[in-house]
Amino acid sequence: MGSLIIFCLYLTVFGVGVTILDLLGILSYTKDTSSKPKTTFIDTLVSVIRTWTYFCLGAGPTGLFVLLTKHTEKESFFWSVAGGTGAAVLAHALRRLYHWNQNSAHPVMFMSEKAVIITPISPGATGKALVRRFGKETEIWVRCKNTKLGFVKGAEVRIIAHEEAAYWIEPA
């Protein structure tokens, strides 16, 4: 019984500790989305660590609670595994939903955001800009509201409106 309590305490402390570090931004990791999406070793490692952390957050406290309510070690172990698996599956589903929602760009999503011009824009013409939001870079089509202004590559602009296929911009 003592080793199971120690194991459940380890799971709890590990899960809470990694979660706190992640919330503080110490473990922040943003995937490079400027090129075609590809899974690297680091992406896989971060995914495994996150899944293990969520498992620990579910398994540790559940196992401790069941042990403290005078159940057997076997019952406690099974409840711990079930709680951890449930937490990991729920967290994975919520992360997928969050990322799916972030990947669908809504026109108002970029209002008042700063962008960097990636193709030169001559006066009255349309070009492309790169917007960074929530750690993700998105290319968008832009036009200047003032038809007498043009922008060079690398210029910083502010998005002010959206109409059909392009965002309207002005100098930042």
- Alpha carbon distance 152, 49 (integer Å): 43
Query: What domains, with CATH codes, occur in the chain?
Result: 2-103 (no CATH), 107-171 (2.40.50.140)
- Provide block-wise average pLDDT over 10 residues at a time, the chain (172 residues): 86 89 71 56 82 91 90 90 92 78 62 88 89 80 86 91 84 84
The pLDDT of residue 144: 86
Q: Measure the N-to-C terminal CA separation of the chain; round to a whole number of Å.
A: 64
The pLDDT of residue 89: 92
Task: For 141, list phi and psi in degrees, rounded to 5.
Answer: -85, 135
pTM: 0.54
- Tokens 């960074």 sit at which residue? 132
- Tokens 């939903």 sit at which residue? 97
Alpha helices in the chain (DSSP H): 2-23, 41-68, 73-103
- Alpha carbon distance 100, 98 (integer Å): 5
If one counts every other C-beta atom within 10 angstroms of the C-beta of residue 151, the result is 22
Give 142's DSSP letter. E
